[in-house]
Amino acid sequence: MNKYSSVLIDIERKINEGQYLSGQKLPSVRSAARIYGCSISTILKAYHELEQRHAIYSMAQSGYYVVHKSQNPPEWEEDTRIDFASASPDPHVFPYLDFQHCLNKAIDTYRHQLFTYGDSKGLEKLRYTLASHLANDQVFANAERIVVTSGVQQALEILAKMPFPNGKSAILVEQPSYDLYLRYLETEGIPVQGIARSTAGIDLQELEDRFKYGGIKFFYTMPRYHNPLGISYSVEERQKIAALASKYNVYIVEDDYMADLGESRGFDPIYAYNRTSHVVYLKSFSKIIFPGLRLGAAVLPEPLLETFLACKRYADTSLLSQAALEIYIKNGMYERHKIKISSQYAARIHALNESVQRYNADGWIEISKASSGVYVQFKLPQKINIERLMKRLEQRNVSVVSGKGFYLPDYLQREKFIRISISRARLEQIDEGVRVIAEELHDCSGH
């Protein structure tokens, strides 16, 4: 991280944590430069950015002051419910003011384009910005192969219905997997097969057999921070999956929707290991900015591009949102927000792991080894009645999600589990939530 970004993040953190109070004067530009060991221009740039975010304001001949904040408590502080169920991002870390600034700037910068229908591929400037942005994650593609979509869901639906060059028709999905996509495939009557994935990984020999004999059009996978397991593929697994795709002419649809929520760096996606253009890489911006933004990006191999665009047909995502996202990424706000939200979620996962160790003396919970992301699997003994457990948890104001919905209806090799999401659970609630789950498991087991 460069000096400017570290200074900006540190001052913003001190404001948010109350080290700098509402109305308090910040250190002078010269004093701050000495404190941080940087140039005056770096401090001026950071203070200017904080002004743009409405976090501070300046007074001529006086200095910079923290903006007065309302003393009304956030809505969730009045809610005693411990929400381990919601998959939506924490609204209290949404970058409202930052993105408002980008929307205003987008109207000024792109005012002529905003009154057109736009390109079905997406705003050209955004696609070029995304090409550079994705390269940081080892996804190298020119802007012509990047299509802006109405969230990742739209791309998944188009890919499911469109014909592929390999002439095959079945979609292979991990079991368990993304519940909404499974329901979509069922509703549309699209041929779908399941293959087991667990905290131990995937059976690569079985995967090879499926690729070889199963008539697989594409394999849908979430390589990191899997929903609902919370785990990631090893380097060896990612390399092998990429190699099998090339060997058997099977495409991979890589849903890397959690790419920005990990602390660890250097996680190369399956896309980076495939040399034969058999990987469609999908990126979401909903988990890090706002779900309502509904913007995603699909990086398509050349043989799929024309058919995908023919199915998409017209521009269906807001040009204003696209323009604002382009500015948000280009000016570094996205990267700074990513660091902020990733560290907060990682702290919650860490607290969850510690609480499980503290209260799981009976060993009823088998937890997936997640250190980042938002999901953790609580694998339970077969004798536990999940419906009864969830009902009792609801009575104690703890919400969780059953693992049943993450499987295809006819898939029999199911694990019994509940999915825990930390995205809406306050840090100080997590220990209490795990304690309640452990107590109810103990009671439900008949001990």
Q: Is CATH 1.10.10.10 correct for 3-66?
A: yes
336-444 placed in CATH 3.90.1150.10: yes
Tokens of 243: 């190699």
Strand partners, 201: 198
Tokens (6 digits) for 23: 């109305």
pTM summary value: 0.82
CA torsion through residues 131, 137, 140, 141, sign: negative
Q: With left for phi above 0 and alpha for psi between -120 and 50, is residue 121 left, alpha or beta?
A: alpha
> How do the pLDDT tens digits run along the chain, 447 residues long?
688 888 988 898 888 878 888 778 899 999 999 999 999 989 998 888 888 777 887 766 678 888 765 444 444 445 689 999 988 877 777 787 788 888 888 888 887 777 666 788 999 999 999 999 999 889 999 999 999 998 899 999 999 999 999 999 999 999 999 999 999 999 999 999 999 999 999 999 999 999 999 999 999 999 999 999 999 999 999 999 999 999 999 999 999 988 887 655 678 999 999 999 999 999 998 777 777 788 999 999 999 999 999 999 876 788 888 999 999 998 888 888 888 888 889 899 999 999 999 999 878 889 988 878 899 999 999 889 999 999 999 999 999 999 999 999 999 999 999 999 999 999 999 999 999 999 999 887 665
Buried b (16+ CB within 10 A) or exposed e, 247-273: ebebbbbbbbbbbbbbeeeebebbbbb
Start-to-end C-alpha separation, the chain: 52
Q: What class is the 97-331 domain?
A: alpha beta
Q: Which two tokens stand for residue 92?
A: 């209290």
Structure token pair of residue 18? 């109350």
Sequence-distant (6+) residues with CB within 8 A of 25 are 62, 63, 64, 65
- Domain range annotation of the chain: 3-66, 97-331, 336-444
Q: How many C-beta atoms lie closer than 10 Å to residue 105's C-beta?
A: 17
With H, G, I as helix, E, B as strand and everything else as coil, classify residue 426.
coil
Q: How far apart are CA 28 and CA 98, in angstroms?
A: 24
User: How far apart (Å, rounded) are the C-alpha atoms in residues 418 and 327?
Assistant: 39
**277 neighbors 251 (Cβ within 8 angstroms):** no
Which burial class, exposed, middle or buried, applies to 125 when counting CB atoms under 10 A from its CB (0-12, 13-18, 19+)? middle
pLDDT at position 254: 98
